[in-house]
Structure 1
Amino acid sequence: MGWARIDDGFDDHPKVVELLDHEEEGWAAITLWVMCLTWAHRNTRKPGKAPGHIPPALPRRYLGAAGRAAAELLVEVGLWDAADRGWVIHDFIKYLPSEETRQARAAAGRKGAEARWRGKQTRTSNDGDGGESTSSQEAHGNEPSTSHDSATSGMTNDGSRARARRAPTPDPMPEPEPSSPQSPPHVTTAASTGAKTEPGTADGGRNTEGQNEDRNGAQVIDMGLVAEIQALRPDWSVSSIFRTLEHPDVRSRPWDLVRAAFTTIAADPDTRLPSRLTHDGPWWGEALRQTRPRPARPPWCGQCDAETTRMVELGDGRLARCPDCHPKEVRTA
């Protein structure tokens, strides 16, 4: 029996996350990818076959009429590559084991089987030379069989037919009531924690250096931001917005930057999915300019060389920043 290996980080791969944003169509595409991966390992790793090739009729066999659309979605995100007759699983050959690896695994399997067989033969021979069995020894004596235990049989320990007196069966220990499940920290909302917000603030009292925290230290996702993004993009579902905000590459950034960057890509008509926020792009630089504006340039003193450079000549002929109007000198003074 062969194997088709899937990385344990499959669920967090950007291509898979992009499929999840398509919800039902994405789930169908993931199902098709897994089914066809096992089919390809079983059928295309043979002489004369193209490794990883998926014939045109296979998606319809698994998903019916929706198979074609799922295959096109897999090509769109890069998990499949289009071919002349069907498709090819992306990087299928790259992750196949080499011939040396396959031979080493086969040899190890044979050695393991031989060791198990030798152990079985040894146990069988020991059982054959062990003499009389326990039940036979008991049959020759006057002691009752050990199978007639007072806890499980109606006979007494002396072998008579009198009914054994049994101690009352103790009541089992009551099982503790299960505690209420705790919500994961990254999906806690402001409504569920009862976090207080200060009136009169545009962001509901949000900490601009990170997400709000409830009394247990859990990060709180601002439902106001979710509503704001949905107002800009009604075609995006709440679940896809939540998944984007829960992504590690998003949660690691300051919350005010996330808000500014998310609204920027939501207002961009070229943005198809909210998962675009999880990648590096110009929207993060734009968010930085919005939330971290540069201080105003100080006025030119008129005593240094020029308004653009603002340098002065020292007594030894070296140039230095003007202490009166150069931006870096004035800010650090």
Structure 2
Amino acid sequence: MARGEIHIQLNVDFADDPKVRALARYGRDARSIRDLYVQMLCYAKRNLSDGHVPTEQLGILTYPDSPARSKRDADRLVEVGLIKAVDGGWYVPAYLKRNKSRAQVQAAVEDKADRTARAATVGNHRRWHERRGKLDLEGCVHCRDAIARRDRWAIAASDSLGSGSDRTETETETQSQTEPQTGLDSSPKNPPPPNPPSPAGDAAPAEAQAARRDALVAEVLRVRPEWQASSIHRVLNDPKLASTVWPQLERALLAVAADPSTQGPGRVLYDGPWWSQQPPPQQPSPRCGQCSPARRLEDADGRDLGPCPTCHPGRRR
């Protein structure tokens, strides 16, 4: 097939179709009528009209016949059921049985163009994104596909999801140079929760979890106002953070935010000193003045009556 040629689908037994054989009633004119039908098929395919042939095309399809004879041949095609008369012309019902519609052809062209474009850019994607662990979700379809497939390198670079900016790419590159990793799929030794899900013993409802997550995001933004709330939420939803209780995640993320060398919240996905943060020591409450210096109650004879219910650390709420 030569490039640029268009072909119609026509059964080799076309002449034996009952409707075509019915044209024999018109004697010698049957051949010219059958030719008109084939010309209508060609017009529909060439113009992607889905089988519609406008009235003004009839004279072109039947040249050099007169307009009167052309109209008569079209009417005879209608009589045997090969075409239908419609507003503004005729319709060939059998066309779409063996030929693609305009929508199908356009979809195929777009699909081919998309596949060609993807093939042309996959080399740059592998060089500049996959090998460097950088994501460009706004400009690279391959990065979006990698996230949908949950490729390991894409998950490792999830701290740059949705930005595609130079700042985020610099952040990822800085992390790869300064943080020890065993591979693109390395995970923290102490991974915290994604949503974060309720740890053992924590029966907080979904509303309460959402509220405390929003509160943590707000606290992080107070420390690093240049960060985006959406980026922090993505880190909290990362599947690698699936087992650490909420207080540990809270302390780690705030420690990462307080570190001046941190470029983005995604740093918390990696192992580091932020996972060894200890809760701040509790400050003793003021003494109530009714108990001993050890915050225990005594009777008049100095016998110990137990911890003070007002100010003993073990009784505080």
In our comparison, the structure showing a higher alpha carbon Rg is 2
State TM-score, norm by structure 1. 0.29
By relative contact order (CA 8 Å, sep 6+), the higher-ranking structure is: 2
State TM-score, norm by structure 2. 0.31
Normalized per residue, which structure has more helix?
2
